[in-house]
Structure 1
Amino acid sequence: MLTVGQVSGLIAGASIVVQYILPLALVVILINYVGSQNNAVTWSIVNRTISTTIWPHLLRADSVNARYGSRPVRVISWVMTITALLLVPSSVLAPLGLSEEIVPTGSRRVEFAYAQDTSSWGRVTMPRPELAFGRLCETGLNINCPGQYQGVYMNETSEGVWESVSTDDDSTINSSIPLNYTNMFYSATSNQGNTVSGLFDIQYRRWHLDRLDLYDKGAMYAQGDFRFIENLIPQEAILLKEGLIIDMTDTPGIGFRNHTVPVGLEFGATWSEDLTWIEPVTQCVDTNLSIEVNFAEGADSFSTNHTYFIVDRGAWIDLDMDELETRPWNDNQTLDLFGRAYKAARMSNVLAAASLNISLPLDSSAETLPKIEISEDMAYDNPTLFSYQDLDTLVIHELAGFEGTLDEFSISNTSDIAANHEPSYPDGYVKLLALNYTAVTNICRGYYYLDDTSIDRRANNISYPAVDCGFILGPGVLTSGESFSPDTYTGRSTYQRKMYVCSTGMRASIKTVDFYYNETSTQLSSLGVSRIAEKTYLNDTSKPLWAVEHSYERRMWFDPLWGLVNDSYEMMEGFYTQRSGHLWLPMSPHLVLSLGEAQGIGTLAAASSFIRHLSNLYGGIGIGERDYSGKFEYSMVERIRPLFENETAASQVPSLIMTDGLAANLVGTKTSLSDSGAPWPASLAADSPANGFPQQLRVSPNTRVIRYDIRFAIPGLILLGIFAFALAWAITILVLYPVILRTLQNTYNQTSAGRLAASLLKHGSANANRPTGQWVKDDGKLLISFGHIDRTGGDYFCRVVGSALDAESEKERMAGRDGSLGD
């Protein structure tokens, strides 16, 4: 679409074309009819008319030949030519620098109103149930949550059958949130105008109701529900959906916001808000192992032969069996995801070497091993890694070996590494030994104790962030150089798939989000995000205070509460706090006990949902509910295939999958318009009259401005400089020599074609300085003929052939004779 400046430039260009071409055409017409005999005035007019066009330059006439002209004349003539040439580009280019923009102005308060999402995301989001917030904890003998009274004890009446034993008449599983906990997690986010979401503002997008006699004496309670909506990964953009800002670029994450927009503004507005942000953060490490698949079309049958290889790209350099021993991770809230993935990758490579009968360490002269062919039995037992049918897809899975996923490979307890294993290092620190992939995974997760049950023995607290680990296998890349052209088809092709080991955690923070809105009505589709940035803090004391529920020194089966609190709760009993720009979300036993659930029990989505999605990321039971392989969605393959070029880009893949699932599961109910302290989940309709909406917030309204790119004015500025210099010089001459105007008039009159010819032909008998009016009455009426103008030519150059009065009398005489002939 053309801009106003471009249209103006085109108009100016067209005007210049007309300005130069039209006089050329008119002069041609004039010369055709002017003839060779006219009075002196006419010849002056003809000369002036031709001189005002570019015909003299085109015809290289006498008046433009400056070879023998005086220096002042030559200089001024060239200056006039240059300025005439500059006038063309300056007239065309000058308007091109004009542009119209919508820009923000100074901030002021305007009204905001709720912007409904009319897409499937808005329709699938259920109304908030008017039921109190609740949580359910503990699986075992004592079923109750921290801070709650009452409770129920369980007895095993027969094998696998548990019955509750009431401790008194009021005994029940109390799912309510204690008031002091509620006040605590509202304390930092409840002030008017605060856009940051707290524990209770992050909610499930969908619900279902349930009732159980053990819970709240049989009262009805709500639980989160889960349903995928659409795959957002191929879109690679920042998306706004009901209750969320979803970043599907190279920094995946979700921000919680119940969307409202300014109303009553002609050109919209821009503004910034601080929002609670959750990022699934992943670090992947290249194992330097690839799976290669060779295809060969059968010559004598309709079958295709498939051969599988493991390609070593340096996976076993500097590795030995001692790599399987390590200290537990003690990185706490300084979470080293890359270090965990790197350690897990090296351990996995040692186990892979053992399963493939590769002796470590390698010979010092060997950097890589030849390709290792996989037997048909091994390929058949492990279709996850060795499948020609799903070659062009993504595999994301728990750590496992090449020999199969059901019978997991394990180094024997009688091996040298196991027999010589010491339980601790000389400094007394525990020494962990990974003899199988489950142990490698648990070490990567941060376990400080390993046993056959794979139970996490750690207590819940802020020091143990939730981490899960697995591997990803990229879509196959054709390496044989074959194309799909019939000229190059050989019936043989080779594909390779890179394998990465990854570790993923979840980071909560506050980010500053810049919004823009360009509508006057409440349309969510017109709301956009221009920037997402980490919130900046003046110093450490200005950073937010995070609280995480702990289980003291004992392991407890519950999802810990976490969130922002104000300073008065820094020493709250039952919680650990830290002041920092972000918080790595705490671990939960449901990281390994979620049984594929995407939703949690109770209504506290912030406490349960993130852990359950993380537990399903690397091949959990529930992963099959949504296919991220790209098998049925080629746009997914297009998005993820380029990411497997290196480990940094590949790290986006698990985070994108996590972000997509969390977006479908969760919704933000907090806006700056919200009142806090609701005992039940807040309504999504932020402009509800019951809450006194709409209210006013401070934004920068947009206005229309005209901008100019000075580069397009350069020819015009040069022309302006010449103009200013010439004008100043001319004014100076006029002031110093006022008589110059009389001289100018005499010069022009005496050099005009008609006066000059008449004066010369009459031998200068008349006064050369006669006024124009007097000259027109006298010599101006002389008929002058030029003998060499037309094609016929003559034997004279110029002569007087009469006066205008004689010509008129002759015309009248001829007209009378014509009339008499007609009679």
Structure 2
Amino acid sequence: MYTFSVGTIAAIINAAVAVLQLALPNVLVLTLVAALSDTHTAVTWSVVERNIQSSLWHLLLRSDSAASKHVQLSSEIITLLRPIALGLVAVAAIVTPLGLYEDIQPSTKPHLLNFVRQPDQGPFGLLTPPRSGLGFSRGCSDVGGALPAQCPGTTTLITYSNDSVTFNATIVHDDYDRWIPAQLAELYQSGLISQPSSVSSFFDIEWRWYEEHTRDNIRNQSYSVDSYHPIAPVIGESGIKVVEGLIVDTRDGGVGFRSHTVPAASDVPHGAEWEEDILFFLPETACVDTNLTLEYLVPSEDDLSGQVKQNIVDQGGFAQFSRQNPWDDGRYGDTQEDPTLRDRAYRAAWTMNALNMFFFDTSAPHTNFSSIRSHLGKRYPVNNTFSINYELAAKLMSLAMLSLDPYSGLVDVPFTPSTYSNGSLVSNETRMSGHSESSWPNPYGISTNNYTLANIGCLGFASGDWVNKTNIQVKCGLVLGPANKTSGSDNMLVEPGSTWTRPVYMCSSTTKAIIRTVHFSFRQARGAGLEALAVNSIADKHYVTNSSLPLWGVETPHMSLIQMTPFWGLIDPEMQNSANLSTVRSDHLYLPASDNSIWHNALYTDGGSSYMPATAAPAMLWESAYAPQGLYDGLQDLSGYTSLAIASRWKNMSSTTTGTAGIMNLIWTDFAANALIGTRGWLSGKDTLPPNLNMQSPLQKHAEPHAPPRSGSGSVPVRIYQRTVHYRWIYAIPAFLCLFVAGLICLSAVVAFISGKGRVSRVRHYLNRLSAGRLLVALKLEERDWESSTKLWLAMRGGRSVSLAYESVAAEEREVHVVRTKGVELG
């Protein structure tokens, strides 16, 4: 249905008025002449002449007053100017209103409004369970990771013993304390006191799904643990989405934590906009090209062996191998300032290529690669002894992104149904030697342990390293880009006998927490629920001075990574000297590594053992992003094999290392959107603890776990959308032309008036002498009276009857003789 703007309606009205103004006077002339005879009073003829001459009939009938021959030039120009000016005015009256339009614009000054909770009526809102009052929980282990240990701040008592065979741990009172001590919770939320209520910290980030476990002991205490149940993919399209508890950036990657609130609809009938500071998790990835590709030959359907011929193709990874050892550069620098992800990925790729050359006997260890027996395009057959059916071959040749972890999978992956699923690759852990499944001689006995050391070097830490701000979460792995068809027909169908190739990248990833400024807009017209809330833009928060930067803290309790999952969060400067705390003042914090990074824990649907999502989740998300799709039950397929929309997007991005890094960031983002939720918003107030942590350990203080929530005022400065009228100036051109012409006419009138020739007396002079009644009296009755006022002339001669009927021939000849003189005298 077409709707008209105010300007359009005004233009239509003006056009209708212009047509009526033009038509009515001309139509009335027909009525007027119908009522006339040839004999009337002299003044009647003056009035009739005024009406007829003011119409367009003289132009339509080309009468004397429309003639241009023998007309004085100046009179003709000025006479023509009148209809042109009137026509221009008519056009301006129609066109000028078309520039008017109404718009909804934000107010120039902010208004303080109360916000209300805005539920998500989509899948993420309907399928997210309510928050539990059990709070957070964590467990710690000994230096070997096998036995329980007391977590910092808890009251658990554990005694250890050993015999000649085993080590044992005994928990006193059979009561292992998993609760978070209140003093630690307060410490890692303390920095919120100087932040807006919209900013989250450690304990405002929760798992979207969780499970409640009960310990079988004297207290039968329940506690929450992580669980993962994907709701819906979000990365099919590029943009910024708002879902229950999160802002999801599917363009660049990242999630922001926010319990969504909006202004009351009654306060903003047309909507509103505002800005908030929001805590984000941003994935960061750097990839390098290994200069190797994987080549596959699809078997025919009647091939009973079903073997896929697979080759590693040297695109420079071996033939142009750099002899400069990147490990000579030493350890990584300040990881909080620069995580050096590309250097990590390059070191891992360099090491992997070196080990692969030793495995293929292309070069030898301890020779500084003085001899490399390879060339560009050389093919290295791999895994030819393993069978694969045609369906799995189709997955392999799809547009899906594939991951290989660990790096040995590039040369030693058996493609069997047990190790290959959903278009992804996994590797076995067999020794790559002459007697393993591999057909290569492997003269130097390269094993998966060698590749593991390369992985540790990329990570920058091992299980025995300390928990601190320097050892940040890092995940490294191989990524295979979408398959490209290199033989057969041009289409992307998997055909028997066709050859396909995949680029091989080495990538390194981490996660940082950062406060960003988000510009929101809210309009009920967009739809119900969170559909009415939109994110217009996201930018990193600007800080005027270094002292205004947030202070981040990381728990450093002199425990190794394999033992625990540390806290981190925003810290009040007055508490920066607290025990077991290291701080960094920066606009961001790269999240610390933990036992999840050591154990390579990925997302599982059957629940974990603790509830520390702010540290555990980012690492688990990276493990899932790099894990072969389908290896873990319940993970959604983000490779693109089952979604052409995702596959098409990956296809467009994977041609470069930067694009491939972006793919990994987006896969992490999709996992994060389904795994995490933010619980802090404007209604949370300035409490240092969220509602479900307003308690202490039952072993420290016997308090009910379900504490009443504390609410904030929810008052937020917003710019209210108001209906305003605007104008498109291009439609004012006719009006400006009218003003210009009117200015010229007025200027000429002023000049004429000043010169004395444009006085009112001269106008009266010509009105009297050109009056039809006076002319007829003068011609018919031979009574000239040009100077008398209208009142006097009406009294003396205006009432005289004058006929327009033909007179005698003599009279006509006399009139002709007068007219044929050189000029017509009016005096």
> If the length of structure 2 is used for normalisation, what is the TM-score?
0.77
Query: 1 CA distance for matches of 2:374 and 2:79?
Result: 80
Give the structure 2 partner of residue 659 of structure 1: 669
Query: 2 CA distance for matches of 1:382 and 1:284?
Result: 32
Alpha-carbon shift at residue 100 of structure 1 (Å)? 1.9
Of 218, 221, 244, 1:219 maps to: 221
Give the structure 1 partner of residue 803 of structure 2: 782
* More moved, 353-362 vs 736-745: 353-362
Q: What do the CA deviations read for 1:150-184 (whole angstroms, capped 9, x no partner)? A: 3334667897x876424x5x464221223321221
2:479–2:507 CA contact under 8 A, matched in 1: yes
Query: 1 CA distance for matches of 2:378 and 2:12?
Result: 70
Query: 1 CA distance for matches of 2:31 and 2:508?
Result: 88
In the TM superposition, what are the counterparts of 1:773-812 in structure 2 within 5 Å? 774=793, 777=798, 781-783=802-804
Give the structure 1 partner of residue 692 of structure 2: 681
2:190–2:688 CA contact under 8 A, matched in 1: no
Q: Aligned pair in 2 of structure 1 residues 128, 747: CA closer, same or farther (>3 Å)?
A: same
Q: What is the identity, as a one-letter code, of the residue corresponding to 2:201?
A: G
Q: What is the identity, as a one-letter code, of the residue corresponding to 1:475?
A: P
Query: 2 CA distance for matches of 1:465 and 1:406?
Result: 28
Q: Which runs of 5+ in 2 are unaligned?
A: 414-426, 435-439, 695-706, 817-827
Q: Aligned pair in 2 of structure 1 residues 233, 397: CA closer, same or farther (>3 Å)?
A: farther
3-state DSSP class of the match of 1:651?
A: helix
Of 539, 542, 546, 2:545 maps to: 539
Query: 2 CA distance for matches of 1:481 and 1:196?
Result: 56
* More moved, 635-644 vs 730-739: 730-739
1:434–1:440 CA contact under 8 A, matched in 2: no
Give the structure 2 partner of residue 504 of structure 1: 509
Query: 2 CA distance for matches of 1:99 and 1:798?
Result: 63
Q: Which runs of 5+ in 1 are unaligned?
A: 422-432, 448-454, 787-794, 800-823
Of 568, 574, 579, 1:568 maps to: 574
Give the structure 2 partner of residue 129 of structure 1: 132
Q: What do the CA deviations read for 1:258-279 (whole angstroms, capped 9, x no partner)? A: 1111123133322221111111
3-state DSSP class of the match of 1:121?
A: helix
* More moved, 394-403 vs 697-706: 394-403
2:200–2:680 CA contact under 8 A, matched in 1: yes
Alpha-carbon shift at residue 563 of structure 1 (Å)? 0.7
Give the structure 1 partner of residue 75 of structure 2: 73
Query: 2 CA distance for matches of 1:392 and 1:540?
Result: 47
Alpha-carbon shift at residue 575 of structure 1 (Å)? 1.6
3-state DSSP class of the match of 2:804?
A: strand
3-state DSSP class of the match of 1:673?
A: helix
In the TM superposition, what are the counterparts of 1:17-416 in structure 2 within 5 Å? 18=19, 22=23, 26=27, 45=48, 49=52, 52-53=55-56, 56=59, 70=72, 72-73=74-75, 75-77=77-79, 79-80=81-82, 82-84=84-86, 86-87=88-89, 89-105=91-107, 106-138=109-141, 139-153=145-159, 164-166=169-171, 168=172, 170=173, 172-190=175-193, 194-213=197-216, 218-249=220-251, 251-263=252-264, 264-265=266-267, 266-291=269-294, 315=317, 318-320=320-322, 323=325, 325-326=327-328, 327-333=330-336, 334-351=338-355, 369-370=376-377, 372=379, 374=381, 377=384, 380=387, 390-398=397-405, 399=407, 400-404=409-413, 405-406=427-428
Give the structure 2 partner of residue 461 of structure 1: 468
Q: What is the identity, as a one-letter code, of the residue corresponding to 2:662?
A: Q
Alpha-carbon shift at residue 657 of structure 1 (Å)? 1.3
Q: What do the CA deviations read for 1:167-220 (whole angstroms, capped 9, x no partner)? A: x5x464221223321221221115795221121111122222212247x95422
3-state DSSP class of the match of 1:670?
A: coil
Q: Aligned pair in 2 of structure 1 residues 471, 65: CA closer, same or farther (>3 Å)?
A: farther
2:307–2:384 CA contact under 8 A, matched in 1: no
Q: Aligned pair in 2 of structure 1 residues 729, 608: CA closer, same or farther (>3 Å)?
A: same
Q: What do the CA deviations read for 1:473-500 (whole angstroms, capped 9, x no partner)? A: 3333566796679xx9999976554433
Query: 1 CA distance for matches of 2:483 and 2:566?
Result: 41
Q: Aligned pair in 2 of structure 1 residues 318, 484: CA closer, same or farther (>3 Å)?
A: closer
Q: Aligned pair in 2 of structure 1 residues 129, 492: CA closer, same or farther (>3 Å)?
A: closer
2:147–2:168 CA contact under 8 A, matched in 1: no
1:133–1:604 CA contact under 8 A, matched in 2: yes
Give the structure 2 partner of residue 704 of structure 1: 723
1:238–1:246 CA contact under 8 A, matched in 2: yes
Q: What is the identity, as a one-letter code, of the residue corresponding to 1:565?
A: I
Give the structure 1 partner of residue 785 of structure 2: 767
Alpha-carbon shift at residue 90 of structure 1 (Å)? 3.1
* More moved, 376-385 vs 47-56: 376-385
Is the counterpart of residue 440 in structure 1 residue 454 in structure 2?
A: yes
1:16–1:88 CA contact under 8 A, matched in 2: no
* More moved, 435-444 vs 657-666: 435-444
Q: Aligned pair in 2 of structure 1 residues 351, 407: CA closer, same or farther (>3 Å)?
A: same
1:292–1:496 CA contact under 8 A, matched in 2: yes
> If the length of structure 1 is used for normalisation, what is the TM-score?
0.77
2:777–2:802 CA contact under 8 A, matched in 1: no
1:133–1:679 CA contact under 8 A, matched in 2: no
Query: 1 CA distance for matches of 2:174 and 2:343?
Result: 48
Q: What is the identity, as a one-letter code, of the residue corresponding to 1:699?
A: V
Alpha-carbon shift at residue 505 of structure 1 (Å)? 0.6
Is the counterpart of residue 580 in structure 1 residue 586 in structure 2?
A: yes
Number of equivalent positions: 756
Q: What is the identity, as a one-letter code, of the residue corresponding to 1:635?
A: A
* More moved, 568-577 vs 777-786: 777-786
3-state DSSP class of the match of 1:76?
A: helix
Query: 2 CA distance for matches of 1:341 and 1:769?
Result: 107
Give the structure 2 partner of residue 808 of structure 1: none
Give the structure 1 partner of residue 766 of structure 2: 747
Q: Percent identity?
A: 25
2:286–2:507 CA contact under 8 A, matched in 1: yes
Query: 1 CA distance for matches of 2:126 and 2:356?
Result: 48
Q: What do the CA deviations read for 1:712-759 (whole angstroms, capped 9, x no partner)? A: 32332232233245336536756885983343244356446x559747
Q: What do the CA deviations read for 1:656-707 (whole angstroms, capped 9, x no partner)? A: 1111111222211111221425575279xxxx99746764333222222222
Q: What is the identity, as a one-letter code, of the residue corresponding to 1:128?
A: R
* More moved, 84-93 vs 255-264: 84-93
1:546–1:562 CA contact under 8 A, matched in 2: yes
Q: What is the identity, as a one-letter code, of the residue corresponding to 2:692?
A: P
Q: What do the CA deviations read for 1:602-656 (whole angstroms, capped 9, x no partner)? A: 3332122222222222116537622112222222223322212333233221111
3-state DSSP class of the match of 2:211?
A: strand
Query: 1 CA distance for matches of 2:644 and 2:35?
Result: 78
Query: 2 CA distance for matches of 1:618 and 1:545?
Result: 32
3-state DSSP class of the match of 1:393?
A: coil
3-state DSSP class of the match of 1:391?
A: coil
1:758–1:779 CA contact under 8 A, matched in 2: no
3-state DSSP class of the match of 1:717?
A: helix
